[in-house]
Chain A
């Protein structure tokens, strides 16, 4: 419990950001037509690939002789970028179909 309070007071800024971001996320998604749920889910999925930034940081900080860390970091970057590129590309493909009717 003490740890938790200490964590919150040390990271007050982060706690504020988290809470505000939760509200922004909720407001953004509220009242979206069902038509767009599938592209939205896939777009949001691409955004969660932001974890790639962490994977890159892991590799940048790795010691070039620490093969295990490098290998794991490498796989993490591949999987992260797969999530990002694949997610955005497929969302774009879906939305393209909606658009050409107009």
Chain B
């Protein structure tokens, strides 16, 4: 048995401690060790994007990271997006625009969209489609997802909280 490693990290504002093998993927640590099963595991090789979470504020595939790499990190999963019983503006837009059917890709869609809108407050439809190429929707419900992202961008601009972060 491989030596276990200790991990301390913050997920959705709450501190967690755990132990796992170095080979444990972050996606599996979130789901199996922390019981945060809102992060979905689809392809396990970085193609489908369903497992995308916010890692220190940036969208990242949690199946392509080791849990041990998250030591000291701040992670936001879909369970942490709503605040005080209120949907995140992107969640709200997905809800209002019927941007999910089976919902399997939705956690990844939301994480990728939030990072995208943080760096592009006024995207056009082509840019939205390019950003959404990061996550596969197996229901092929892209029309409404594109609508939802554009609606979320408009609402976040109005509220003054889009495009606030420049990376680097």
A and B are partners in one complex rather than unrelated chains: no
